[in-house]
Amino acid sequence: MLTLRGWWFFVALLGLLAAALATATATFVLVCFAVLSWFLGQWALFAFRLRRAHGRLGIHREIWDDRTPLETLWARLPAEVRLTLESPVAFPYVWMVDRVPPLAQRVEGENATAGPLSAEQPLELGYRIECPAPGLLRFEGVKLQVADLQGFFSKTLFVRDVRVVRVLPALADARGQIPAVKRHNLIPLPGGHPHRRAGTGHELLDVRDYLPGDPPKLIAWKASARRDRLMTKELESEVPVRCTMFVDLSNSVRIGAVGRNALARIVEITASVLQANAAVRDLTGVCLFDEAQVKAYLRPGRGTRHLYEITNLLTDSACLLPRTDDVPLSRLLPTAYGVVQDLYPDWLDPGVNFMPLWLPFWAAQPAYTMPRRITPAKHWWSRSLHWLWRRLNDTPFGLRRGRASRFTAYYHRLYKARKQIAAVLAVLYDLGPGGLALLLEDDETCRGYVQRFLAEHQVPCPLPFYDDRGEYFFGSPGKIDVLAGALLQAVYRGRDNELFVLMADFLETGPHLEKLLRAVRVALARHHQVLVVCPWPPSVPMPQRKKIVGTLRVPSNSKSALRVPAEDDGIRSEPTTLQDWLGRASAARLHHAFAKVRQEFARMGVPVVLSAEHEAVGMVLHRLQRLRTLERGLR
């Protein structure tokens, strides 16, 4: 509570009082006692105000556009956040800062203010934000620093007021998607395309002899007059265009900050196609899947309710963060401890979350709760030695990890952070009386709850990408089987020619695409169209499309030809640091993987585009346009 200035003032005042008592100067002693009494009185008054204001501070938050308050926001549209702090207790000076959510960006104004606070004079704050991507906007609350006018006493508080606001995808311009010219002597209605079967459409399919029971309005009078017998018209059956979007929600597309990863771009593409189809009354469905199962499946439909349902489902899925069991707990604890210090400073108070000094030495963690990497034996004769080494590590005589490190300062700092984080998580998730001990002893359980805590607060945690053998942790070959099964189910339910858009990460799956390729062949055999949109990390440069402008002829004795460089061929600077070399190697690896995936699907005539390209949405809409005409032929 006492600031550095307050401590120096208090020590100086005690020194002056001691000097006054030593010199026996009555006036000097009286002045020192008066100042000390005033200082102690201000200290007691400040503590009383804090105790009285505990739990009684209120926040009133509103989000406005230019005219009205909003309950939901739109991506890429600015909004104004208005905040009011109310308190029944008067404070002479309060510094307030609002924590901007990770999904939003502050574009105008300041998110901090300072001034006096009382019941008649609340503290107000206003600034403008903009969300570049859809998702969930999570407001945690405001951070306060209460102090007196002299700066002798200070206290940091956090007023929690959790509010989650949906940020819907940006509106897409769907105009110009319906052809304005007549093709193949057809005039397709919005939301439908001609299907060469008899139905109740508007285009003539065939003329046949009249049968008893045919409606009189379908009698072709001119053809009947020419043939001298009644003829009946058969009309084409107009069916709507159906499109199913398969959205990948695996950990590989969640890597990165919220709203700045590959998943955010996938959600934007899906929402743009959905809005464009809704404008022309086409049917759109969504299938959300991950490594284990299909999360949600909505059959192709239309209407306002269907549009809102898919939009809310995509918005809730846009803020997912990756989770893995391969990250060490020691890398998660510093990040989680920083979040706890920022959002729950009162829960780290020694009065409620005490950390004894002897606990790191005494903390007995069972061996079976500490994950250890078991390296396989390379030779047959060393298997017995590996077996004996693993058995000795579980005994008290084994030199396993964590025994000698208990006497280091790093272990003590890390264990203190773990103990305090475990106490906070036990209260947040209601783990019961044994929750604290469970999180202190079991690394697997503690890792799961820490990742859950960081994901709920939209804080990305440091994750390893590759193991010691160079294999990608988030390859997830299991999602290929899930996607193949979902595609076969969609083909089985389909009735007419449909478009299936596969937006999944196939770059690091390796040789596991055979089952999906068989499902794609089944879809193509039933005259459906398939399009692959490959998610691409925003921080990695896309593979360049090099175009050869021309080739100069050289004498025949030359073994090479001179190529004129294309316009987009740029001179790249050579990497100078290790980080540049690693970035160049990772980009080359992704480029090679994308070339292999594109080659596999190109053998079946399935185009593959990157999600980071601007023409990704146009490619999907172009494929939908082909379904509205007879360019695919008859089924």
The strand order across the sheet containing 529-534 reads: 294-301, 283-289, 242-248, 498-503, 529-534, 608-610
Residue pLDDT, tens place only, 411-429: 888 888 999 999 999 999 9
Residue pLDDT, tens place only, 508-558: 776 778 899 999 999 998 888 899 998 888 877 878 765 433 433 334 443
Q: How far is CA 331 from the centre of its chain?
A: 20
Task: Give 297's pLDDT tier (boundaries 50, 70, 90).
Answer: very high
Task: Give 560's pLDDT tier (boundaries 50, 70, 90).
Answer: very low
Q: CB of 366 within 8 A of CB of 396?
A: no
Q: Considering only CA atoms, which of 94, 133, 132 is closest in space to residue 114?
A: 94
Q: CB of 73 within 8 A of CB of 104?
A: no
Least confident of 182-191, 246-255, 402-411, 562-571: 562-571
Burial 591-630 (b: 16+ CB within 10 A, else e): eebbeebbebbeeeebebbbbbbeebbebbbebbbebbeb
Task: Kindly state the average pLDDT of the residues 586-604.
Answer: 86
Q: How far is CA 461 from the centre of its chain?
A: 12
Task: Give 391's pLDDT tier (boundaries 50, 70, 90).
Answer: low
Checking if the pLDDT of 579 tops 80, the result is no
Quote the tokens at residue 609.
């585009």
Domain 242-322+472-545+577-627: assigned CATH number: 3.40.50.410
Q: Kindly compute the dihedral angle of the four CA atoms of residues 597, 600, 606, 607, in this order, to the nearest 10 degrees.
A: 40
Say what the pLDDT of residue 383 is: 66
Least confident of 261-270, 465-474, 564-573: 564-573
Task: Give 84's pLDDT tier (boundaries 50, 70, 90).
Answer: very high
Burial (Cβ within 10 Å: 0-12, 13-18, ≥19) of residue 561:
exposed
Distance CA(382)–CA(196), nearest Å, equals 70
Task: Kindly state the average pLDDT of the residues 253-267.
Answer: 87
Residue pLDDT, tens place only, 174-220: 443 444 333 443 444 455 555 544 444 556 777 889 888 888 888 88
Percent of the chain with pLDDT over 70: 80
Distance CA(202)–CA(255), nearest Å, equals 50
Checking if the pLDDT of 406 tops 80, the result is no
Say what the pLDDT of residue 185 is: 39
Helix 443-456 and helix 329-343, axial crossing angle in degrees, nearest 10: 40
Q: Considering only CA atoms, which of 75, 129, 72, 131 is closest in space to residue 103?
A: 131
Checking if the pLDDT of 474 tops 90, the result is no
Least confident of 116-130, 264-278, 541-555, 587-601: 541-555
Q: Which residue has the higher pLDDT, 196 or 324?
A: 324
CB atoms within 10 A of CB 193: 23
Least confident of 23-32, 256-265, 284-293, 561-570: 561-570
Quote the tokens at residue 285.
């469905």
Checking if the pLDDT of 353 tops 70, the result is yes
Helix 262-279 and helix 304-317, axial crossing angle in degrees, nearest 10: 170
301 pairs with which residues across the strands? 284
Checking if the pLDDT of 304 tops 80, the result is yes
Task: Give 96's pLDDT tier (boundaries 50, 70, 90).
Answer: very high
Least confident of 110-119, 129-138, 340-349, 562-571: 562-571
Task: Kindly state the average pLDDT of the residues 12-29.
Answer: 86
Checking if the pLDDT of 374 tops 70, the result is no
Say what the pLDDT of residue 635 is: 36
Distance CA(499)–CA(331), nearest Å, equals 44
Checking if the pLDDT of 392 tops 70, the result is no
Distance CA(486)–CA(285), nearest Å, equals 12
Q: Considering only CA atoms, which of 270, 278, 268 is closest in space to residue 296?
A: 270
Checking if the pLDDT of 402 tops 70, the result is no
Q: In sequence order, what are the residues at sequence separation of 6 or more whose Cβ sits closer than 8 angstroms to the Cβ of residue 533? A: 266, 269, 501, 502, 503, 608, 609, 610, 611, 616, 619, 620
Checking if the pLDDT of 502 tops 90, the result is yes
Radius of gyration of the chain (CA): 34
Average model confidence (pLDDT) for the chain?
A: 80
Distance CA(152)–CA(5), nearest Å, equals 6
Amino acid letter, 415: Y
DSSP character string of 18-39: HHHHHHT-HHHHHHHHHHHHHH
Task: Give 382's pLDDT tier (boundaries 50, 70, 90).
Answer: low
Say what the pLDDT of residue 405 is: 64
Q: Which residue has the higher pLDDT, 262 or 511?
A: 262
Say what the pLDDT of residue 390 is: 62
Domain coordinates in residue numbering, the chain: 4-52, 193-239, 242-322+472-545+577-627, 323-371+404-462
